[in-house]
Amino acid sequence: MCYNQYMRIFVPREVKKLSNIFGDKSPLFIVGGYVRNCLMHRRSNDIDLTSCLVVNQVNQLLKNTDFASKTKSAQWGSMTIIGKKNKYDYTAFRKDIYIGDGSHTPQNVILNASIVDDSARRDFTINALYYDIDKKILIDFYGGVDDIKTKTLRAIGEADKLFKDDAERILRLLRLSVQLNFTIEEKTYLAMQDNVKGLANLSHDRVIREFIKILFASKKNITNNALRIFDRLDMWKYLGTSKMFSRLNGLSQNLYFYNNAKFEDKIFAFCLDIYKYLAIDKKELIKEFLGKTGLNCTTNTKEDIYKMLRSFELLTKNKKPIIPTREVSYLFKKYDNKLYKEAKRWKVLQ
């Protein structure tokens, strides 16, 4: 059942101005996360826009205005609209057709679609919310408003097909469950469980990008809920080609450092937990877990993590660390007071 309701949400003045350019015949909508976050009273900066107009039509419309545009893919109906204050991702209404191998990319895209078609290609009900900027009307085709009220993550349409079409939605589902502290609806969870193997057909970059977002998805420790699912569904092996990733099953129960880390130190603490859990050489961890076939970290990050692991190793042997470990020394106190006292003895604490 389609839900239409007059509602006022905060729309930046620049976006209102853009909406006036689109006019009544081709109304401009805000779609997805921004609308969801407004309903949840969460701060949000990224605004995704959509309408019935394809890329060439939008380019023509924006000529001689205060807005510029940059085409991403005319075939997919996607572009960036550039205002004086912000940039906005724009995608025309479209219908996606998949081959069902989980590889993310549609086999075919049909433009000149309706808003109903466009809503059907979205992933979860809470992300299929459209806000008509001019009329100030919220449009909800799948009960997303009710799911926000009950803090539920529910697949749109047939859940099994959703994940078969694009396995990246599995990782997105876990990330949203952590970010929003929402519960995954039972049928959606079971469909995710049945389609985990589709992760093998995603590009490595996509998997790692979503996994990093999961690690940093919440300042609270509810990230563990998602990582427990990694254990339960044997998902660690999809993070990289090294056999080391398969050995991470059970890690979610041994995240001593990660659970006590400051938000900005999550990746360091996570690596420290892996180092202890697998009892492997630090050089092997850097190469296999942080290299191109793993998390693909920058050289500077790998060097910093190596120094941290080396400092930890020296502290456990009652030796002076090679660098001051102020940034992560509080983790030692949380995990092992003896380590904290040892770090303090070497005057590496503030």
* Angle formed at CA 103 by CA 88 and CA 166, multiple of 5 degrees: 65
CA distance 38 to 280: 46
What is the spatial order of strands in the sheet that 129-132 belongs to?
3-6, 137-140, 129-132, 29-31, 48-51, 87-92, 78-82, 68-73
Using alpha carbons, list the distances in angstroms from residue 250 to 5, 65, 184, 274, 284.
46, 56, 21, 11, 20
Q: What is the pLDDT of residues 10-30, one digit of tens each?
A: 999 999 999 999 998 899 999
Q: What percent of the chain has pLDDT over 90?
A: 57
For residue 178, the surrounding DSSP H or E stretch is: helix 168-180
| DSSP calls for 311-335 | HHHHHHTT---SS--HHHHHHHHHH
Q: Side chain identity at 127, as an amino acid letter?
A: N
The per-residue pLDDT for range 153-184, each reduced to its tens digit, is: 999 999 999 999 999 999 999 999 999 999 99
Structure-token match 């005057």, residue found: 347
Residue 187 tokens read as 């049928």
For residue 5, give Cα distances in angstroms to 9, 13, 137: 12, 22, 5
For the ranges 76-80, 178-182, 284-288, which has the lowest average pLDDT? Answer: 284-288
How does residue 348 score in pLDDT terms, banded at 50, 70 and 90?
A: very low
Q: Report yes or no: 270 and 305 within 8 Å, Cβ to Cβ.
A: no
CA distances in angstroms from 297 to 48, 55, 63, 203, 287, listed in the order given: 29, 35, 41, 16, 10
**Can you read off the two tokens belonging to residue 121?**
């290609």
**347 CB-contact burial (10 Å; exposed 0-12 / middle 13-18 / buried 19+):** exposed
The residues, any chain, with a CB within 8 Å of residue 231's CB and separated by 6 or more, are 249, 250, 251, 252, 253
pLDDT band at 289 (very low <50, low <70, confident <90, very high): confident
Mean pLDDT along residues 291-308: 81
CA–CA dist 112, 171 (Å, integer)? 30
Amino acid identity of residue 16, one-letter, is K
Please write the tens of the pLDDT for every residue from 215-232.
888 766 678 889 999 999
Q: What is the pLDDT of residue 222?
A: 78
**What's the topology of domain 1-152?**
Beta Polymerase; domain 2 (3.30.460)
- Amino acid 162: pLDDT: 94
Report helix, strand or coil for 110: strand
| Positions of E strands within the chain | 3-6, 29-31, 48-51, 68-73, 78-82, 87-92, 95-97, 108-110, 129-132, 137-140, 152-153, 183-184
CA distance 267 to 338: 23
* Averaged pLDDT for residues 67-93: 95
Q: For the chain, where do the domains classified as CATH 3.30.460.10 start and end? A: 1-152
Residue partners of 187: CB distance under 8 A and separation at least 6 = 154, 155, 159
